[in-house]
Amino acid sequence: MSLRDDAREVARVILSHHEVTVISHIDADGIAGESILAQALSRAEVPHKSVFVRQLEPLTMRQVPDDDSLKVFCDLGAGQQNLLLERGLSREEVVIIDHHVSQPCGRDYLQANSLLSGHGKLSAAGVAYLVAREMDGGNADLSRLAVVGNVGDMMAREDCGLTGPAREIAIEGAEAGWIEIVPRDLNCYGISTRPLHVCLAYNDDPYIPGISNNAGGALRFLQRLGVELQTPDKRWRVWEEFSPDEKRLVTSSLAQQLIACGEPTDRLFCESYLFPAEAERTPLRNAQEFATLLNACGRWTRPRVGGAICRGDRGEAFREAEHMLSNHRAVIRELLEYILDTGVRELSHIQYIHVGDRYPDTIVGIGAGMALSRLNMDKPILIMVVQPEDTSLTKVSMRTTERVVSRGIDLQQALTVASAEVGGAGGGHRIAAGAYIPRESEDTFVERVNQLIGEQFARPGQGHC
């Protein structure tokens, strides 16, 4: 069966129930996916409620209500089907909308899972949208949230744009007037809210010598081009506001800068997804910044605030989310300084640091990713933090770069294997992965991850650059 057939079957089952519980993940993809499903359910007049979990595990399974409702798992569930089985959930009371690896299970739960259908770059919000559209063809406005979820789960990162069914959803949204697709836009975070020099300085994909991590350098570079960086009333202009000619001048000059340094220019451009109905110069204007806003809500464990924004709240929920976003950035900046000041320990193939209980476990991965661009970028970084809810556990996050991934490195594989060996659990993606391990096995674990990454580097057939 194709993914569309699976989505149609899931939609049919959902509409045949008189009560639904959506259980979703607290990141941007999960929040967007939950909002798509909840809005489709409201429009179909099916009573429903939602539960958000950090991850699905025996402890959080308790939040899944013990009632007659259909349990719709979104952005989770595929990899925890045995937990559903242990809970005694029958095939009739579960559907799974997911994009993670499916766990072999004795019970054949109904799934719409993009990964099972061979689509590696369609997130749960994307699958949720396919289901919502099968529920009612009038749900095309929800395509925006599907794009936000996809971009939030980094589905557009590797190819500098969405591909496959995720891109088809964006096109559908564009045709209905909800999304503006900008081809060959500047591949840079913050195009709707940040002064251009800050936008460029914060970007390291591609890494542009003299500009990346160098706000002063970026400002001087732009001033030399003679483009107007401020409005007459002295407000910094954002990328979105520059004219096509100004944009061309900036991108071609950045390309020259890269060429002069012998770097490829292909990652300078990406396809952007804008939401023209949103207020200008807000993070709601483009998919990347919208996703970050939702992630900030999740990281402060306020996913419902993100959900309210997805449902259209531009008042109190939006202000609260903006506040979380700025706090979020302040704490991440502090963590970044901490990592750089303290220094990492280098092993043969990885570098690592333990931050104790100084920082929330929800942000250490981002901080590590940012620190990496100021450290040895060829060695993946591993960061450990005490798990606040259970101090006998250590939360591990790992980050690397596209360049290292292209050499055959797969952080998910390394963390999954190494954590399982010490009785923990791990998952994620090639470029970014996480795990939980017992605190007493930290040393063994780090050594083992180093060994596994070393083996990946050494695997034959992997080109070195």
Q: Please count the other Cβ atoms lying within 10 Å of the Cβ belonging to residue 202.
A: 17
Q: Smallest distance, Å, CB 334 to Mn ion?
A: 27
Stretch that binds Mn ion, among 66-74, 151-159, 183-191, 435-443 (CB under 5 A): 151-159
> Which residues are CB-neighbours of 414 under 8 A, at least 6 positions away?
398, 433, 449, 452, 453, 456
Report the alpha-carbon distance of residue 358 to residue 351 in Å, rounded.
Answer: 19
Per residue in 300-323, is it b (16+ CB within 10 Å) or e — as a string?
bebbebbbbbbeebeeebbebbbe
Q: Smallest distance, Å, CB 453 to Mn ion?
A: 24
Nearest to Mn ion of 206, 306 (CB atom):
306
Stretch that binds Mn ion, among 35-43, 147-155, 172-180, 294-302 (CB under 5 A): 147-155
Q: Please count the other Cβ atoms lying within 10 Å of the Cβ belonging to residue 105.
A: 14
Among 35, 81, 117, 123, binds Mn ion (CB under 5 A): 123
Per residue in 159-188, is it b (16+ CB within 10 Å) or e — as a string?
ebbbbbbbbebbebbbeeebbbbbeebbbb
Q: Which residue is nearest to Mn ion (CB)?
A: 29
Tell me the two tokens of residue 143: 């395509």
Stretch that binds Mn ion, among 123-131, 248-256, 428-436, 448-456 (CB under 5 A): 123-131
Stretch that binds Mn ion, among 67-75, 168-176, 281-289, 452-460 (CB under 5 A): 67-75
Nearest to Mn ion of 124, 398 (CB atom):
124
Q: Please report whether residue 271 would count as binding Mn ion according to CB under 5 A.
A: no
Q: Smallest distance, Å, CB 68 to Mn ion?
A: 28
> Which residues are CB-neighbours of 317 under 8 A, at least 6 positions away?
305, 308, 309
Q: Distances from the Cα of 53 to the Cαs of 50, 291, 366, 423, in angstroms? A: 10, 18, 20, 22
Among 6, 34, 134, 153, binds Mn ion (CB under 5 A): 153
Q: Please report whether residue 29 would count as binding Mn ion according to CB under 5 A.
A: yes
Nearest to Mn ion of 29, 361 (CB atom):
29
Phi-psi region of 43 (alpha: psi -120 to 50; beta: other; left: phi over 0): alpha
Nearest to Mn ion of 124, 305 (CB atom):
124
Q: Smallest distance, Å, CB 465 to Mn ion?
A: 30
Find, among 394, 453, 383, the residue nearest to 422 by Cα. 394
Q: Please report whether residue 34 would count as binding Mn ion according to CB under 5 A.
A: no
Q: Please report whether residue 124 would count as binding Mn ion according to CB under 5 A.
A: yes
As to burial, measured by CB atoms within 10 angstroms (0-12 exposed, 13-18 middle, 19+ buried), residue 403 is middle
Q: Please report whether residue 98 would count as binding Mn ion according to CB under 5 A.
A: no
Stretch that binds Mn ion, among 74-82, 85-93, 347-355, 436-444 (CB under 5 A): 74-82
Stretch that binds Mn ion, among 115-123, 338-346, 364-372, 420-428 (CB under 5 A): 115-123
Report the alpha-carbon distance of residue 72 to residue 21 in Å, rounded.
Answer: 6
Q: Smallest distance, Å, CB 152 to Mn ion?
A: 8
Q: Smallest distance, Å, CB 77 to Mn ion?
A: 11
Nearest to Mn ion of 124, 344 (CB atom):
124
Backbone angles phi, psi at 134, to 5 degrees: -70, -30
Report the alpha-carbon distance of residue 237 to residue 281 in Å, rounded.
Answer: 9
Nearest to Mn ion of 149, 190 (CB atom):
149
Q: Please report whether residue 410 would count as binding Mn ion according to CB under 5 A.
A: no
**Rg (the chain; Cα; Å):** 22
Q: Smallest distance, Å, CB 19 to Mn ion?
A: 25
Nearest to Mn ion of 155, 350 (CB atom):
155
322 half-sphere exposure, CB direction, 13 A CA radius: 12
With residues binned 3-state (H G I as helix, E B as strand, rest as coil), the percentages for the chain, rounded to 5, are 45, 15, 35
Q: Smallest distance, Å, CB 231 to Mn ion?
A: 38
Q: Please report whether residue 75 would count as binding Mn ion according to CB under 5 A.
A: yes
Nearest to Mn ion of 29, 289 (CB atom):
29
Nearest to Mn ion of 151, 363 (CB atom):
151
Nearest to Mn ion of 80, 203 (CB atom):
80
Q: Smallest distance, Å, CB 123 to Mn ion?
A: 5
Q: Distances from the Cα of 186 to the Cαs of 158, 190, 248, 441, in angstroms? A: 15, 10, 10, 44
Interface with Mn ion (CB under 5 A): 29, 75, 123-124, 153
